[in-house]
Amino acid sequence: MRGYRKAFTLIEVLVVLVVLGILSGIAIARFVDTKEAAYLASMKADLRNLAIYEQNYLIESQGSYFAGNGAAQGFAATPGVTIAATATPGPPPSWNAIATHDKTPKTCSITTSGPSAWDITCP
């Protein structure tokens, strides 16, 4: 008759390590996707804020939009986000912008079809 054992076998340790490896692989993949979604969300938020700045500028300038990054109009993007807006004199005047983030190759863009109608797309 064998006595009571106090240690794990090699097979038990290997099974635990394999299970932990699979679980950590799943967790890391989800974390990477979450970070990418956060970068896209910050670009979308900055484009929405830029749209409000563009609407206010349209009212104050009596019919024209600004181009560039909006710094001259008081707009400040989230750190890591770069925005480039272009204005089209019209008629009717319109504008569009592209947002990029330092940590992702993806870009978001906003297109306008009127003073208060815009569409933000992120592929």
3-state class (DSSP) for residue 2: coil
pLDDT at 11: 92
| Residue 119: strand pairing partners | 111
Domain boundaries, the chain: 10-121
Question: Are the C-beta atoms of residues 48 and 99 closer than 8 Å to each other?
Answer: no
With a cut of 70, which residues of the chain have pLDDT below it? 1-3, 114-115
CA 19/CA 89 separation, integer angstroms: 61
Greatest distance between any 2 Cα atoms in the chain: 96
Torsion angle of alpha carbons 47, 73, 70, 121, nearest 10°? 20
pTM for this predicted structure:
0.74
pLDDT at 1: 56
